[in-house]
Amino acid sequence: MERIVFSLMMIGLLTLSGCATSPMGRNQLIMMSDAEMNAMGNQAFLTLVQKTPVVKDPQANAYVDCVASALIREVGGQWQVAVFQDGDANAFALPGGKIGVNSGMLNVAANQDQLAAVISHEVSHVLAKHSNERMSQQSATKLGLGLIQAVASAKGYNSSAMMGALGLGAQYGILLPYSRVQESEADLMGLDLMAKAGFNPTESVNLWINMGKSSGGNQPAEFLSTHPSHDTRIQDLKNRMPQAMELSKKAHAAGKNPQCEDLARR
């Protein structure tokens, strides 16, 4: 009984102390400090650099750095950018100001605006503290699993069966929907960010069309996926496009007009 009471108290305290609001106005559970997340992001980036070769081509690096720099000017802070020699069409941003772009992404993102859509999406994950939120969710879920196990043992139930059922519920009923929400949130935040930097926001739609073609249609059903379907995210982007176009017009009026593709052609 004492174990159950203690677990309930811990869950309550952590939930109360971790309440936060995302930039899109969504309630979040944030339990880690920025310093802790930055340290983990820096270590993860260092590990990647040690294990994955970086692209040496000066044109490719200048191109990616140009796009990233235009976006970084909008969000501020110190960021390190690296292009990795990896054929997967992927990119990431980590707490601590780290941005990585795989060389394979340069074959899918057909122009500077599409690359800006990718990088701004990943940077938005960091700005919205999505990594912190995921870790906090997992910590809270583990506490909940421990509580259920304690209750089952006290009541004489089959704790293994209950844990298995809750594990499935936690996987498909708690964690993944939040992840889809985070992905959608990063899509919309990223759309605004690229527009504010002077990139063409309509190219974000073309990017996801290209991503769909590159995957050969091999995408899991949306319900069991950590990402929204390509069709869903494209429609969400289109719905927000009028607002993004206004931001883009203001950016151009302020003289923000990135010319990164000129670097790639030199």
Catalytic residues: 122
| Coil, strand or helix at 146 | helix
Per-residue b/e over 148-173, b at no fewer than 16 CB within 10 Å?
Answer: bbbebeeeeeebeebbeebeeebeee
Query: First CA to last CA across the chain, in angstroms?
Result: 71
Q: What is the CA radius of gyration of the chain?
A: 21
Torsions phi, psi for 96 (to 5 deg): 100, 0
Close Cβ partners of 121 (under 8 Å, ≥ 6 residues apart): 186, 187, 189, 190
**Gap between the Cα atoms of 141 and 155, Å rounded:** 21
Continuous segment of H or E residues that includes residue 12: helix 2-17
How distant is the alpha carbon of residue 119 from its chain centre? 10
**Looking up tokens 């941003």, which residue turns up?**
93
**Gap between the Cα atoms of 159 and 103, Å rounded:** 47
Cβ–Cβ < 8 Å for 79, 72? yes
Cβ neighbours of 250 (radius 10 Å): 13
